[in-house]
Amino acid sequence: MAWLVAGLGNPGERYANTRHNVGAMVAAVLAARSNERFRKVRFIPLEVAETRLGDEVVYVATSHRYMNEAGPSYASFAKKREVAADLVIAIHDDMDLAFGALKVKLGGSSAGHNGLKSLQSALGTPGFLRVRFGVGRPAGRQDPADFVLDPFAKREQAGVAVLIEEAADVVLSLVRVGLVATQDRYNRGGAGN
């Protein structure tokens, strides 16, 4: 069986350490843990690191397209490698969760997240797994679109690396033990919960 881990984010140095790029950050950690490097995919604007967990093949991918138009890249790769939609794991930032919260679920709405909208449209189903990484909401009147494109606040930075490692653990748990056991172990609220 094959899995596709879609580390949602935006390409380029400008976005590398922003809240919106946590999915790509988690994908980088997963590739590093398995000592695999990302390789460009022919004819698809993706970079993929291929690894194995027991008998499972796991493709860890990041897109060369901006998040709101990256869905077709992931869907095309999934189709080419015969990865079922329910074995696609999207890792993404979530403003509806407090900073530090991690939630895992199968399916659901995009809740206004353009990366999820693009992926759902391209896969033709909302029935894929999501690792939701809580980034919280902006304080005051800051535009939410600007907030997610900013780096994490200084007070958050110490915890970000730990949270990214834990989100990588969540992905591995989904492959190893499935959704319910992973939800039981990792679903939690963020700071102050």
pLDDT at 193: 44
Q: Does any domain span residue 192?
A: no
33 token code pair: 């843990």
What number of CA atoms fall less than 13 Å from residue 155's CA on the CB side? 4
Give the structural domain span for 94. 2-186
The set of residues, in sequence order, having a beta carbon less than 8 Å from that of 76 and lying 6+ positions away, is 44, 122
Please indicate whether residue 92 is annotated as part of the active site. Answer: no
pTM of the model as a whole: 0.95
In a domain, 67, yes or no: yes
Residue 155 in domain:
yes
CATH of the domain at 139: 3.40.50.1470
Burial environment of residue 8 by CB neighbours within 10 A (0 to 12, 13 to 18, 19 or more): buried
pLDDT for 10 equals 96
**Nearest alpha-carbon partner for 123 in 91, 175, 76:** 76
Q: What's the rounded Cα separation, in Å, for the pair 73 and 122? A: 8
Q: Per the domain annotation, does 193 fall within a domain?
A: no
Low-confidence ranges of the chain (pLDDT < 50): 192-193
Question: Which pLDDT score, from 0 to 100, does residue 190 have?
Answer: 63
* Cα atoms found within 13 Å of the Cα of residue 39, Cβ hemisphere only: 8
pLDDT for 92: 97
For residue 100, tell me if it sits in a domain: yes
For residue 192, what pLDDT is reported? 44
Note every long-range contact of 45-50, with CB atoms under 8 Å and residues 24 or more positions apart, other chains counting.
Answer: 45/73, 46/73, 46/74, 46/77, 48/77
CA distances from 101 to 44, 132, 145, 193 (A): 32, 8, 20, 9
- Provide the domain count of the chain: 1
Q: Is residue 59 part of a domain?
A: yes
User: Considering the domain boundaries, does residue 191 fall inside one?
Assistant: no
Selected catalytic residue, list 20, 64, 92, 113? 20
